[in-house]
């Protein structure tokens, strides 16, 4: 077996303990890797004014893939207050390291499988198996934002768009703008990824989830490109179109009807949390951030600071993230064994973390899964 170089970024909060749990499982399944731990998260924001130090970016560049825990992220003013005193007032601005990594490494596909494991008391229904493909580099997460809105920008917008008339009386400091940038490159690559996955996994339908009736240009472009790619390259698979609001309702009403969803960045952020809750919540939701030559694998949940150090949270999301990493590396056999081991522990129901109504710790759960291997 190839000896992979894997970057491990536990982050902060419960990130450290869920990574410890996932490592137990990776060791047990026989995955041999050269693990390199790196610095990321709140601690480095406070100490260095940078939650994603250059040395960590270098580390990612030198490895084959990355396993990521969780990080605390706060709105910019709250974050600024927590900087160490000597760094205060020097113009450091907090940003989300995971969003930065996704963009820096062009990890354009965020794949979030939401599968109901039989026997999970938290399943909304047992017949759910949806995979969300979220565009991961642009859309409302492009990071192009203004507050206050510069006069130059306002003048240009007023000249170019009659709808700006409605805001004429509003002072610039009372207005904020976030751009939702959708590009053909971004739309094509995520849509192609969703269809390719559907074909590879023998799924029959891909649903593009947007809002083209109102967001005529950005959602419109996504949907037009989905139709194009479908017609030209994937006519063996069904393409369905749904609006994001209706999708939120349909996922609650008839979740079993959906197989693969593909959507833009913020819609995907929201709908993937909804889909995760249908199969037990964030304790079961894993995510693969994939580009053409790198991948970062993480639980969808955050750092849950109030549980930090208690070894209470469910590590299944991170264990499944490590399974996605093995899939990405082409180690399908080991990946399959991890998923089966998780399924078996859940089906037996003897070991359950607090979210499942039990009192097993993070590491008890990891041990139970490791034993099945």
The count of residues interacting with Mg ion (CB under 5 A) is 1
Residues constituting the chain: 373
Taking the C-alpha atoms of residue 67 and residue 7, their distance in angstroms, rounded to an integer, is 6
Instruction: Please select the residue that binds ligand IPM; options are 36, 50, 96, 148, rule is CB under 6 A.
Output: 96
Stretch that binds ligand IPM, among 9-17, 43-51, 96-104, 218-226 (CB under 6 A): 96-104
**What CA–CA distance (Å, rounded) separates 93 from 155?**
27
Binding to ligand IPM in span 55-84, by CB under 6 A: 73
Q: Is 298 in the site for Mg ion (CB under 5 A)?
A: no
Kindly tell me which residue out of 39, 269, 327, 331 binds ligand IPM, with binding defined by CB under 6 A. Answer: 269
Segment interacting with Mg ion, rule: CB under 5 A, options 152-160, 213-221, 245-253, 262-270: 262-270
CB atoms within 10 A of CB 93: 8
C-alpha–C-alpha distance, residues 278 and 264, integer Å:
21
- In the complex with ligand IPM, the residue whose CB is nearer, 22 or 370, is 22
Task: Determine, following the binding rule CB under 5 A, whether residue 269 of this chain makes contact with Mg ion.
Answer: yes
DSSP 165: G
Q: Which helix (H) or strand (E) holds 133?
A: strand 129-135
Question: Please, which residue, 24 or 285, has the CB nearer to Mg ion?
Answer: 285
Whether 149 contacts 177, CB under 8 Å:
yes
98 binds ligand IPM (CB under 6 A): yes
Report how far residue 148's alpha carbon sits from residue 118's, in angstroms, rounded to the nearest whole number: 51
Is residue 178 involved in binding ligand IPM (CB under 6 A)? Answer: no
Tell the smallest beta-carbon distance from residue 73 to ligand IPM (Å). Answer: 5
Burial 64-82 (b: 16+ CB within 10 A, else e): bbbbbbbbbbeeeeebbee
To ligand IPM, the closest distance from the beta carbon of 55 in angstroms equals: 22
Closest-by-Cβ residue to ligand IPM is 96
d(CA 34, CA 20): 16
Candidate segments 84-92, 94-102, 189-197, 360-368, binder of ligand IPM by CB under 6 A: 94-102
Q: Count the neighbouring beta carbons within 10 Å of the beta carbon of residue 30.
A: 12
Rg (CA), the chain: 21
Position 331 contacts Mg ion (CB under 5 A) = no
Q: Residue of minimal CB distance from Mg ion?
A: 269
Query: Of residues 57, 99, 248, 304, which one binds ligand IPM by CB under 6 A?
Result: 99
Distance separating alpha carbons of residues 87 and 40, to the nearest angstrom: 18
CB nearer to Mg ion: give 112 or 211. 112
Shortest approach of ligand IPM to residue 326 CB, angstroms?
A: 20
Spatial distance between the Cα atoms of 5 and 60, rounded to a whole number of angstroms:
10
Chain residues binding Mg ion by CB under 5 A are: 269
Chain residues binding ligand IPM by CB under 6 A are: 73, 96, 98-99, 269, 300, 302
């Amino acid at each position: 077996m190839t000896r992979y170089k894997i970057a491990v970024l536990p982050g902060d909060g419960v990130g450290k303990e869920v990574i410890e749990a996932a490592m137990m499982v990776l060791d047990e399944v026989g995955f041999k890797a050269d693990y390199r731990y790196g610095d990321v998260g709140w601690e480095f924001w406070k100490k260095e004014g940078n939650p994603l130090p250059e040395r960590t970016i270098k580390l990612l560049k030198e490895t084959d893939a990355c396993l990521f825990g969780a990080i605390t992220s706060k709105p910019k003013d709250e974050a600024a207050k927590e900087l160490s005193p000597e760094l205060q007032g020097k113009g450091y601005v907090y940003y989300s390291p995971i969003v930065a990594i996704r963009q820096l490494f062009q990890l354009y596909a965020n794949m979030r499988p939401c599968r109901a494991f039989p026997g999970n008391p938290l399943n909304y229904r047992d017949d759910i198996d949806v995979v969300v493909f979220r565009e991961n580099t642009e859309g409302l997460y492009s990071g192009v934002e203004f507050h206050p809105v510069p006069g130059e920008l306002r003048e240009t917008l007023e000249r170019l768009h009659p709808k700006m008339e409605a805001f004429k009386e509003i002072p610039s400091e009372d207005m904020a703008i976030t751009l939702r940038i959708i590009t053909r490159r971004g739309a094509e690559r995520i849509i192609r990824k969703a269809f390719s996955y559907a074909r590879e996994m023998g799924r029959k339908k891909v649903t593009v989830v947007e809002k083209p009736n109102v967001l005529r240009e950005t959602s419109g472009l996504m949907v037009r490109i989905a139709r194009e790619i479908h017609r030209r390259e994937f006519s063996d698979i069904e393409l369905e179109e749904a609006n994001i609001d209706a999708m939120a309702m349909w996922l609650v009403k008839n979740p079993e009807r959906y197989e693969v969803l593909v959507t833009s960045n913020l819609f995907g952020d929201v709908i993937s949390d909804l889909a995760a809750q249908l199969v037990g919540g964030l304790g079961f939701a894993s995510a693969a951030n994939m580009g053409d030559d790198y991948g970062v694998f993480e639980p969808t949940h955050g750092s849950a600071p109030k549980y930090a150090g208690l070894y209470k949270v469910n590590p299944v999301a991170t264990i499944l993230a490590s399974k996605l990493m093995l899939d990405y590396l082409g180690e399908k056999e080991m990946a399959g064994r991890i998923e089966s081991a998780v399924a078996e522990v859940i089906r037996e129901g003897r070991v359950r973390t607090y979210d499942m109504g039990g009192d097993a710790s993070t590491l008890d759960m990891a041990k139970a899964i490791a034993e099945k291997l």
